[in-house]
Structure 1
Amino acid sequence: MPDVNLRKTVSSLEEIFHEGGPVAEVPLRRAAILAIIANPFAGRYEAEIQPFMEDLKPLGLQMAQDLLEMLGGPDQVQGYGKGAIIGEAGELEHGALWHAPGGYAMRQLLGTANAIVPSTKKVGGVGARLDVPITHINASYVRSHFDAMEVGCNDAPRADEMALALVMTTGPRVHSRSGGLEAWEIKGEDGLR
């Protein structure tokens, strides 16, 4: 398979102190990293694309490590998500190649993450934006951690590129009060509850 040809990365860190209510004692921190790479399958249909997932694994690990450093280490992370924007000369299935390398990278470095990493993908032009879904790292049903973070880059993805995203957060939405399973109620048996 082709080597991963990285053009650039884009990182973002948000600190949310309030959403119109009282100021949080500890702000919610959300971090995203986007890698802009060449799409080796752009412009043609390729039947056998799965081996490229193996090539993406080192990139996934580096991106996850960068996010952990932005947020202060694995013990700070409570939520995560991933996504991909595929340039116009590619196809949606190329974004599916990011599922395993992106998701397993975060779970590997976090050590105790049991929940599946939520994901989204789309085909888009230069400047396209993507809302990356976020859930709790150990229980997908923890409603307080249902969130999303918008990612994108002003000059990507070009038609022959992919923009691959990872997102991590340090806690629930600020002012979360919608009920449901709470983080302190997680049983940790199945990644759901």
Structure 2
Amino acid sequence: MTELKIRKRALVVEEIFHEGGPAPDTPLLRGAAIAVITNPFAGRYEPDIQWFMDDLRPLGLDMAKKLAEALGGAERVEGYGKASLVGSAGELEHGALWHAPGGYAMREVLSGTKAIVPSSKKIGGMGARLDVPVTHVNASYVRSHFDSMEIGLNDAPRSDEMLVALVMTTGPRIHSRSGGLDASAIKGEDGLR
């Protein structure tokens, strides 16, 4: 076990009024909570890395709480996703350690969500950008909520760091009209439909 070292954090909220068509009654909010942390495995191969997920859990929970609050409260959140960006001295598997702490944190804060939390991860240098996939919190097949948010910071990740992120949205894409399962028709049995 090691002490989690956070260099910086950011909280970003986009307020989307339209995508070229008529403005909805309520703008869509799309937000990201980002943390830049030291990668304790940078520069070497370490066979035993799972313990670091326990170190990440409190950070994930704090990020999820702050992000939900920034979007007007957990009850307003309809979409979510997570991602990690590993600096060049790390490996992709280090980014995979964010899956459980990030995903379970959002599920705890949003209580009762059924759908798997989609994710992305990659290796990148300072200023790299990452697209975070988003799906509906209760049914992955709700096409109107298939979305993404590009995230990144100009000075992260350094080679011995990781950038971890959570993304939440308050509704479907603005002007969604691609068909598929409607959010009002979710059965909520399996996280898919």
- TM-score interval, normalised by the smaller of the two chains: over 0.9
CA shift at 1:166, angstroms?
Answer: 0.2
Q: How many residues align?
A: 193
Q: Match of 2:127?
A: 127
Correspondence for 1:23: 23
Q: Which residue of 1 aligns with 2:144?
A: 144
Deviation per CA, 1:105-155, whole angstroms, max 9, x where unpaired? 000110121000000000000000000000000000000000000000000
Report the secondary structure of 2:67's partner residue. Answer: helix
Give the aligned CA root-mean-square deviation in angstroms. Answer: 0.4
Structure 2 counterpart of 1:116, one-letter code: I
Using structure 2 for the length normalisation, give the TM-score: 0.99
Q: CA deviation at 1:58?
A: 0.1
- Could you tell me how far 1:11 is from its partner in structure 2? 1.4
Aligned pairs for 1:38-49 within 5 A: 38-49=38-49
Alpha-carbon distance, 1:80 to partner: 0.2
Q: Residues of 1 paired with 2:105 and 2:78: CA distance?
A: 15
Greater shift, 57-66 or 2-11, is seen at: 2-11
In the alignment, is residue 86 of structure 1 matched against residue 86 of structure 2? yes
Task: Give the TM-score taking structure 1 as reference length.
Answer: 0.99
5+ residue gaps in structure 1?
A: none
CA distance in 1, matches of 2:119, 2:127: 20
**Structure 1 runs, 4 residues or longer, greater than 4 Å off:** none
Task: State the partner residue of 1:113.
Answer: 113
| Superposed displacement of residue 2, structure 1 | 1.2
Query: Take 1:102 and 1:122, find their aligned partners in 2: how far apart are those partners?
Result: 16
- Following superposition, the deviation at residue 10 of structure 1 comes to 1.3
Q: Tell me, which stretches of 5 or more residues in structure 2 are unaligned?
A: none
